[in-house]
């Protein structure tokens, strides 16, 4: 009887295409973290439509844990882009689904001579949780106005993309903060920050 049980024990893995005690030739599929999808509304952005489209593409090409997509209906967006006459200002994220982020793409920065796609990509970086670093080089998107008007780089560098992936690595949090910070990017050199109630 014991010999029959031993024979069956050896036979079952063979029938299933595996060997007892040996790893399978086909590794088990690893669970991948779910990608956080953030939706945006650019219907109030006017002439910023093309720079926004390129900025969003640049971020989607660089990061893996979050994806930016147009909202199916304007009222359902997690954040909005809008054209304004003042300085660019943005809700400092990371913004998550169900959020209420706001990107104001200010004409004053354009009047100063800054590239519209760089402005849109930089302000989107704030939505994704990146702060300003004006002392950084042109290759650093969040250096903003620091490198001057000749800098037109609108793509995040590897460190910026890695930080955004880290911000969204755990998926969507169950709890959200009760207030948010607004970063006002005065592209002529001054920086103002204020905390607003939610």
Q: What DSSP element (H or E) covers 12? A: helix 2-16
Contact 156, 59 (CB under 8 A): yes
Catalytic member of 82, 112, 123, 140: 123
Q: What is d(CA 111, CA 123) in angstroms, rounded to the nearest whole number?
A: 17
Q: What is d(CA 26, CA 143) in angstroms, rounded to the nearest whole number?
A: 46
Placement of tokens 């956080």 in the chain: 36
Q: Is 123 a catalytic residue?
A: yes
Placement of tokens 């997509």 in the chain: 69
Q: Which residues are the active-site residues?
A: 123
């Amino acid at each position: 009887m014991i010999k029959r049980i031993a024979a069956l024990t050896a036979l079952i893995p063979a029938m299933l295409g595996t060997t007892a005690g040996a790893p399978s030739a086909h590794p088990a599929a690893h669970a991948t973290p779910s990608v956080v999808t953030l939706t945006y509304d650019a219907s109030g952005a006017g002439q910023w439509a093309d720079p926004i489209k390129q900025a969003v593409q640049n971020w989607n090409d660089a990061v893996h844990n979050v994806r930016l997509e147009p909202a199916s209906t304007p009222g359902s967006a997690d954040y909005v882009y809008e054209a304004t006459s003042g300085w660019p200002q943005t809700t400092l994220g990371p913004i998550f689904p169900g959020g209420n982020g706001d990107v104001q793409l200010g004409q004053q920065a354009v009047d100063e001579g800054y590239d519209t796609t760089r402005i849109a990509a930089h302000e989107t970086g704030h939505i994704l949780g990146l702060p300003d670093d004006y002392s950084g080089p042109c290759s650093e998107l969040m250096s903003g106005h620091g490198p001057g008007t000749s800098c037109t780089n609108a793509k995040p560098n590897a460190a910026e993309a890695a930080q955004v992936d880290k911000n969204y690595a755990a998926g969507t949090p169950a709890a959200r903060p009760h207030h948010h910070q607004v970063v006002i990017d005065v592209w002529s050199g001054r920086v103002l920050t204020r905390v607003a109630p939610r």
